[in-house]
A = this chain, B = another copy of it.
Amino acid sequence: MAISFKRLLIGKPLPTEHAEHERLTKILALPIFASDALSSVAYASEEIMAALLIAGTAHFTLTPWLSLAIVVLLGIVVISYRQTVMAYPNGGGAYIVARDNLGEIPAQAAGASLLVDYILTVSVSVSAGIAAINSLLKVYGHNIDNQIVPLCVLSIIVIALINLRGVRESGAVFAFPAYSFILLMYALVGIGLYRLLVLHSLLPVHSAADYQTAKLLSEGGASGETATFGLFLILHAFASGCTALTGVEAISNGVQAFKEPASRNAAITMSWLAFLLGTIFMGVSYLAVQVNALPPDAVINPADGALGETVLSQIGIAVFGKGGLYLTLQIVTCIILILAANTSFAGFPRLCALQAQDGFLPRQLNNIGDKLVFDNGIKILAFFSILLVIIFKGSVHYLIPLYAVGVFLSFTLSQAGMVKRWLRLKTPGWQFKAANNAVGAIATCIVTIIFGVVKFSHGAWVVVFLIPALIVLFLRINAHYRSVAKQLSLQTYRPRQGWRHHVLVLAPDIHQGVIPALQYARAISEDTKAIHVSIDPNREKRVRERWTLWSRGIPLQILPSPYRSLAEPILTHIKHLREVEPRSLITLIIPEFVPEGFWAKLLHGQAGVMLHLRLRSVPGVVVISVPYHIKALVELNADEEAVAHSDNIHQRIPTRAPEGQPFITIEGSSNGMQPKEPVS
């Protein structure tokens, strides 16, 4: 049943040979790799303003200038990353570059940072996507503030299921929404600038009075306090805006997906991406200030606790009006954000698998599921991103301080790795390339430190402590796997000589269910002993009486059990055998009922299963359950009723145990009345 439910959700399994990759042209590759980076314009300008709002709206004019600084940083990063793309034609994510050039700990640091940021990308993107739809509905008089968290969770589950079904990232699926988004954003910026600068018809969305008194809801907004304006605040706003850069490294992971010449095509696509991202981001930041837009967490009227619309939505209304173009903008924005989350569902499991192959994450993360995807990674990503959405109530603003710290740390490590690589290889022109990457490494390193300081108390401390903790965990996991490899290595193996094999068969009763176990015991060894744990004196008596007839020549030993435990006397007996003969391997054969159907199972004690579980962890012991399948109900005629009853399977409980005679051994009749049938 569990399997058929899985089939319904995930579909039929795919054979291994289907694992192929399409090679993409630049036009088709751009939308796949760009959605993550481009989608961040939906919230980056807004987050700069939210940071500045702490000191009041007066400093909003800094927004375009901070955006410009971020675009400059984008240029540095992309120039630096182009070199990575050229150097790693089979994909050069930060983890691989750090591993190949910097060693174990930096590689695991890059891995930890990226894993954390993949999770945050899903949470932030989905939250921003739902915020876009929420803004749209608010404009038309609806409000889904209370449904944000369930909608985010549902979206993540749907994305995870699509990925578990193994739907491949197809250029065609991404192309339409991504190019629509690019076109719409250019239309927004272009028409906006035209109306502002030429027609002078762009009206502000908030009145000057409202605008001036607006406060941030989360930091003393209602109480009217404002933070002092200064360098710290500017850096905080800059750091918040740097989330625009998340995702630009995606192309470096996927160079092998491009048509040949892959590296060149990837580098060109990366430049396109940087141009698109830079111009749209600048335009949005400029227009946001011009139309008096306010971040959704801003409050004008303290009595009204409702969230406002997103900044992009406010610009959309100011530029397009509340018509079809605005509606399209919001829907396409939501789609591109969901697609951005989707790219993490490709990246996170792939990185997990890479780290698992290297022995730094549990091996199971490298298992390929029915649909040729790393399904454990997909499930883990879905779990943690849902957890974050729930903790942070689906608010982009609350999630942002945690975001991008990891990305910038991985940028730094990746580019530092490249510098080390040039210093080592000294290929032609290495000095220029090394300098180039060094600038990138230093710039992103500075930004990472800024992040750690200015966002620390806002939530980045979680990430600052989490990444080292993850590194330690990864190294511990690796130490374990290396220990296991040593213990499994055949190079140091010396075979064990002169071991003796004891076969014990448990005879809890004498009936048809026990006979196969006795047969089995005889089949695997000539030197078998049977044991009966004496819990019920009547049953012990029955076993003893019938033993000679049914024993197949196996001697029987009765183990006393004063506390009515089945396992304890057997454990003691095995311990005793191993003390007498330390070089011995003991096989215990347990006859086990397997009744048909769930209800019938409830009607039978699970003593055999319990005993199996208890003994399986004892070294030097092999436990075998010999199953005896029985039907839940069979037709009984009157004669058979009599047979069943006379067999005395049902009988009263004893009120008192007889005087115990410990360790009775009854020799089985090796020339018993039953023919010894061959089973082997």
Q: Which residues of B contact A367 (CB under 8 A)?
A: 605
Cα-based distance from A515 to B623 in the complex (angstroms): 17
Task: Please tell me if the beta carbons of B487 and A630 are within 8 angstroms of each other in the complex.
Answer: yes
Nearest CB to that of A640 among chain B residues?
A: B486
Task: Please tell me if the beta carbons of B520 and A622 are within 8 angstroms of each other in the complex.
Answer: yes
- Of the candidates B358, B370, B643, which one forms a contact with A492 in the assembled complex, judged by CB atoms under 8 Å apart? B643
Contact with B along A646-658 (1 / 0, CB 8 A): 1101111101110
Task: Please tell me if the beta carbons of B677 and A602 are within 8 angstroms of each other in the complex.
Answer: no
By secondary structure, the A interface counts as loop
Is there a chain B Cβ closer than 8 Å to A362's Cβ? yes
**In chain A, residues 412-462, which have Cβ atoms closer than 8 Å to a Cβ of chain B?**
none
Is there a chain B Cβ closer than 8 Å to A674's Cβ? yes
A265 nearest CB across to chain B (Å): 20
Task: Please tell me if the beta carbons of A482 and B644 are within 8 angstroms of each other in the complex.
Answer: yes
Q: Which residues of B contact A362 (CB under 8 A)?
A: 602-603
Is there a chain B Cβ closer than 8 Å to A13's Cβ? yes
Given that A17-B562, A563-B15, A627-B616 are contacting pairs, would A491 and B363 also be in contact in the complex, using a CB cutoff of 8 Å? no
Q: Which residues of B contact A630 (CB under 8 A)?
A: 483-484, 487-488
**In chain A, residues 478-503, which have Cβ atoms closer than 8 Å to a Cβ of chain B?**
479-493, 495-501
Is there a chain B Cβ closer than 8 Å to A645's Cβ? yes
Stretch at the interface among A24-32, A107-115, A506-514: A506-514
Task: Please tell me if the beta carbons of B512 and A634 are within 8 angstroms of each other in the complex.
Answer: no
A-B contact pairs, 24 of them (CB 8 A): A15-B562, A17-B657, A359-B650, A363-B604, A481-B603, A483-B633, A483-B636, A484-B593, A486-B641, A486-B644, A487-B513, A489-B644, A490-B512, A491-B643, A496-B519, A499-B678, A499-B679, A524-B525, A594-B617, A617-B627, A619-B629, A622-B624, A623-B624, A624-B624
Is there a chain B Cβ closer than 8 Å to A577's Cβ? no
Nearest CB to that of A594 among chain B residues?
A: B617
- Of the candidates B20, B652, B656, which one forms a contact with A357 in the assembled complex, judged by CB atoms under 8 Å apart? B652
- Of the candidates B20, B487, B546, B679, which one forms a contact with A512 in the assembled complex, judged by CB atoms under 8 Å apart? B487
Task: Please tell me if the beta carbons of A485 and B647 are within 8 angstroms of each other in the complex.
Answer: yes
Is there a chain B Cβ closer than 8 Å to A368's Cβ? yes
Nearest CB to that of A597 among chain B residues?
A: B480
Given that A511-B489, A651-B357 are contacting pairs, would A480 and B600 also be in contact in the complex, using a CB cutoff of 8 Å? yes
Q: Which residues of B contact A501 (CB under 8 A)?
A: 523, 679-680
Nearest CB to that of A356 among chain B residues?
A: B653
- Of the candidates B483, B489, B674, which one forms a contact with A495 in the assembled complex, judged by CB atoms under 8 Å apart? B674
Task: Please tell me if the beta carbons of B631 and A627 are within 8 angstroms of each other in the complex.
Answer: no
Task: Please tell me if the beta carbons of A650 and B483 are within 8 angstroms of each other in the complex.
Answer: no
Size class of the contact patch on chain A: 35 or more
A588 nearest CB across to chain B (Å): 11
A604 nearest CB across to chain B (Å): 7
Q: Which residues of B contact A363 (CB under 8 A)?
A: 603-605
Q: Which residues of B contact A479 (CB under 8 A)?
A: 633, 636
Task: Please tell me if the beta carbons of B16 and A563 are within 8 angstroms of each other in the complex.
Answer: yes
- Of the candidates B477, B625, B650, which one forms a contact with A622 in the assembled complex, judged by CB atoms under 8 Å apart? B625
Nearest CB to that of A476 among chain B residues?
A: B633
A362 nearest CB across to chain B (Å): 5
Task: Please tell me if the beta carbons of B643 and A489 are within 8 angstroms of each other in the complex.
Answer: yes
**In chain A, residues 655-676, which have Cβ atoms closer than 8 Å to a Cβ of chain B?**
655-657, 674-675
15 additional A-B pairs beyond A367-B605, A368-B564, A499-B678, beta carbons within 8 Å, are A13-B563, A14-B563, A357-B652, A362-B603, A481-B603, A483-B636, A489-B643, A489-B647, A490-B647, A491-B646, A491-B647, A496-B519, A616-B625, A619-B629, A624-B624
A413 nearest CB across to chain B (Å): 21
Cα-based distance from A501 to B675 in the complex (angstroms): 18
Nearest CB to that of A360 among chain B residues?
A: B650
Is there a chain B Cβ closer than 8 Å to A348's Cβ? no
Most chain B beta-carbon contacts within 10 A, residue among A593, A651, A679:
A679
Nearest CB to that of A367 among chain B residues?
A: B605
A658 nearest CB across to chain B (Å): 10
Nearest CB to that of A634 among chain B residues?
A: B483
Contact with B along A507-544 (1 / 0, CB 8 A): 00011110100011001110100000001000000000
Contact with B along A321-357 (1 / 0, CB 8 A): 0000000000000000000000000000000010001
Nearest CB to that of A487 among chain B residues?
A: B630
Q: Which residues of B contact A680 (CB under 8 A)?
A: 499-501, 525, 527
Task: Please tell me if the beta carbons of B650 and A481 are within 8 angstroms of each other in the complex.
Answer: yes
Cα-based distance from A493 to B514 in the complex (angstroms): 12
Is there a chain B Cβ closer than 8 Å to A632's Cβ? yes
Q: Which residues of B contact A619 (CB under 8 A)?
A: 627, 629
A566 nearest CB across to chain B (Å): 10
Contact with B along A461-479 (1 / 0, CB 8 A): 0000000000000000101
Is there a chain B Cβ closer than 8 Å to A209's Cβ? no
Q: Which residues of B contact A500 (CB under 8 A)?
A: 679-680
Nearest CB to that of A512 among chain B residues?
A: B488
Nearest CB to that of A502 among chain B residues?
A: B680
Q: Which residues of B contact A565 (CB under 8 A)?
A: 13
Is there a chain B Cβ closer than 8 Å to A550's Cβ? yes
Cα-based distance from A653 to B359 in the complex (angstroms): 12
Is there a chain B Cβ closer than 8 Å to A19's Cβ? yes
Task: Please tell me if the beta carbons of B19 and A655 are within 8 angstroms of each other in the complex.
Answer: yes
Cα-based distance from A523 to B563 in the complex (angstroms): 36
Cα-based distance from A633 to B14 in the complex (angstroms): 37
A122 nearest CB across to chain B (Å): 24
Nearest CB to that of A546 among chain B residues?
A: B490
**In chain A, residues 543-584, which have Cβ atoms closer than 8 Å to a Cβ of chain B?**
546, 550, 561-565
**In chain A, residues 140-171, which have Cβ atoms closer than 8 Å to a Cβ of chain B?**
none
Is there a chain B Cβ closer than 8 Å to A595's Cβ? yes
Task: Please tell me if the beta carbons of A677 and B562 are within 8 angstroms of each other in the complex.
Answer: no
Is there a chain B Cβ closer than 8 Å to A207's Cβ? no
Is there a chain B Cβ closer than 8 Å to A294's Cβ? no
A166 nearest CB across to chain B (Å): 12
Contact with B along A1-42 (1 / 0, CB 8 A): 000000000000111110110000000000000000000000
Nearest CB to that of A479 among chain B residues?
A: B633
Given that A602-B362, A624-B622, A679-B501 are contacting pairs, would A488 and B563 also be in contact in the complex, using a CB cutoff of 8 Å? no
